[in-house]
C-alpha cells in the first residue's frame, strides 16, 4: 500500500492547504513553535478541544495557549525534529496523526520547575491528534518528563511530590477511569476501533500482529516470544534516552517496565498504521498499563499503589517483523501516583541515607 493509495481514503479538504496529513501536522507545528505564531493555535484547534495527558484532562483553548506562552519564555531556543508522523484515515474528512518529536531546549526563563538553570535537556514526545474537518478536536499527549528533569539537574521525586499535592493526576478520574479520562472504559477490539474511532479495513494483519505481541509478550509474560515478533537486530528507544539493541536487550527493556508492577496488564487503546515509500510501514499504538507498585523498588519504597501508565509505542516493520520500537511514557506521572498513595513510601534518596 503506497502513501498515494492511503490518500485516496481522504478528501483533500481534510488536510488543505497542505499536500498530505504529514505536511499538515509538521507545517502548522513549525508555524506555531518555530515562527511563534501562537495565534494560529485558534485556527488549528477546535474551541472545545479535549487534551488528554498523563496528568489529567484539559478542555478549551485558553489553557493550550497560556501553557504554550510560558514554555516558550522558559525555553526560547526550544527546537525539535519531526521524527515521524504516522497517520491513518478516520472517515473521509478526518484522520488520526501520531506525531513523534525529538525535543531539545535550554532553560533560560522561569518555568513550572523553578528559576532558570541554564542547562539543556533532551527528550521525546508524541502528540496523538484526531483531526476532523481540518482542525484538531482531540489530542493525547505523552512526554518523557523524567528526561527533562534529569537534564536540568532537578530531583524528579521532589517535582513528583508537588504534583501529588496539586495535579489532577491523582484525582478519581485517573484512578477509576471516569467520564472522558484517558483511562476510561475498555477497548473491545482495537484492530477495528480505538479511542480515536473506527479504523479503515486495511492493515488488519499487521495491526492484529501488534495486539498479539502485547498480549503474548507483555500480558502472558512469554518474553521468549520477542524473537517471534522482532528482527534479530531490533532496536528499542525508550525513556531517559535509553537505547537497546538485539533480542536479549529488548527483552530486558520489557521486563524492566514490568518488574516494579509485576501484576501489570497492558491494554491497546488505539492503533494507526501508515506506509510510505521513504519510511516503510509504521504502527502507532496508544497503550495503558494498569498495575500495582508491588515489585522491584525502582521508584522508592514499595507501597502497593495502584498505577495507570499511559504510553505510546511507534513500531517500524521490516519483512513483517518489528525492527524498531520507540516506547514513551511519563515516569513523573507514575511516581506522583505512587507518592500520593503513601503507605510508608520513601524516595530512593531517603532510603539510601
Q: What is the pTM of this model?
A: 0.93
Instruction: Tell me what percent of the residues of the chain surpass a pLDDT of 70.
Output: 92
Last residue of a domain, one of 176, 205, 236: 176
What is the Cα–Cα distance from 217 to 325, expressed in whole angstroms? 14
Residue with C-alpha cell 520513601? 346
Looking at the structure, do residues 64 and 106 belong to the same domain, yes or no?
yes
- Does residue 225 sit in the same domain as residue 342? yes
- The proportion of the chain whose per-residue pLDDT surpasses 90, expressed as a percent, equals 70
CB atoms within 10 A of CB 53: 20
Q: Are residues 279 and 345 located together in one domain of the fold?
A: yes
Give the end of a domain, one of 116, 148, 176.
176
Domain membership flag for residue 8: yes
pLDDT tens digits, one per residue of 288-320 = 999 999 999 999 999 999 999 999 999 999 999
For the cut 70, the answer to whether the pLDDT of residue 170 exceeds it is: no
What is the per-residue pLDDT for 113?
A: 87
The verdict on residue 142 lying in a domain is yes
**DSSP for 26-64?**
HHHHHHHHTS--GGGHHHHEEEEEEEEETTEEEESHHHH
Degrees, nearest 5: CA angle 32-154-244: 80
pLDDT at 171 over 50: no
Same domain as 250, residue 199: yes
- Inform me whether the pLDDT recorded for 66 exceeds 80: no
Domain total in the chain: 2
List pLDDT tens digits, range 10-54.
999 999 999 999 999 999 988 887 788 778 888 899 988 888 988
187 lies in some domain: no
Higher pLDDT, 39 or 106: 106
* Average pLDDT taken over every residue of the chain: 90
Same domain, yes or no, for 129 and 218? no
Query: Are both 141 and 222 inside the same structural domain?
Result: no
Average pLDDT over residues 90-105: 96
> Does 335 map to a domain?
yes
| In-domain check, residue 41 | yes
* Residue-level pLDDT at 58: 72
Amino acid at each position: 500500500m503506497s502513501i498515494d493509495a492511503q490518500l485516496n481514503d481522504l478528501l483533500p479538504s481534510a488536510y488543505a492547504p497542505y499536500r498530505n496529513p504529514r505536511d499538515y501536522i509538521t507545517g502548522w507545528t513549525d508555524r506555531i513553535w518555530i515562527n511563534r505564531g501562537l495565534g494560529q493555535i485558534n485556527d488549528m484547534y477546535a474551541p472545545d478541544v479535549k487534551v488528554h495527558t498523563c496528568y489529567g484532562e484539559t478542555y478549551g483553548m485558553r489553557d493550550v495557549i497560556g501553557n504554550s506562552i510560558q514554555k516558550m519564555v522558559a525555553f526560547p531556543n526550544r527546537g525539535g525534529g519531526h521524527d515521524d508522523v504516522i497517520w491513518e484515515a478516520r472517515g473521509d474528512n478526518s484522520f488520526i496523526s501520531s506525531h513523534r518529536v525529538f525535543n531539545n531546549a535550554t532553560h533560560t526563563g522561569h518555568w513550572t520547575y523553578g528559576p532558570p538553570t541554564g542547562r539543556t535537556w533532551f527528550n521525546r514526545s508524541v502528540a496523538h491528534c484526531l483531526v476532523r474537518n481540518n482542525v484538531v478536536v482531540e489530542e493525547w499527549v505523552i512526554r518523557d518528563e523524567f528526561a527533562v528533569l534529569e537534564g536540568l539537574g532537578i530531583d524528579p521525586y521532589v517535582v513528583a511530590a508537588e504534583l501529588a499535592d496539586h495535579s489532577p493526576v491523582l484525582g478519581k478520574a485517573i484512578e477509576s477511569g471516569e467520564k472522558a479520562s484517558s483511562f476510561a472504559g475498555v477497548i473491545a477490539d482495537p484492530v477495528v476501533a480505538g479511542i480515536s474511532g473506527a479504523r479503515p479495513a486495511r492493515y488488519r494483519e499487521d495491526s492484529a500482529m501488534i495486539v498479539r505481541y502485547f498480549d503474548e509478550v507483555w500480558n502472558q509474560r512469554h518474553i521468549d516470544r520477542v524473537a517471534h515478533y522482532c528482527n534479530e537486530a531490533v532496536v528499542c528507544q525508550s525513556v531517559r534516552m535509553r537505547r537497546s539493541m538485539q533480542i536479549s536487550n529488548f527483552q530486558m527493556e520489557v521486563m524492566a517496565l514490568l518488574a516494579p508492577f509485576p501484576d501489570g496488564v497492558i491494554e491497546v487503546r488505539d492503533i494507526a498504521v501508515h506506509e510510505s515509500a521513504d519510511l516503510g510501514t509504521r504502527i502507532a499504538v496508544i497503550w495503558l498499563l494498569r498495575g500495582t507498585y508491588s515489585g522491584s523498588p525502582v521508584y522508592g519504597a514499595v507501597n502497593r499503589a495502584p498505577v495507570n501508565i499511559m504510553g505510546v509505542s511507534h513500531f517500524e516493520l521490516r519483512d513483517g517483523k518489528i525492527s524498531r520500537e520507540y516506547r514513551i511514557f511519563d515516569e513523573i506521572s507514575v511516581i506522583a501516583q505512587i507518592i500520593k498513595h503513601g503507605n510508608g513510601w520513601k524516595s530512593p534518596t531517603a532510603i539510601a541515607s
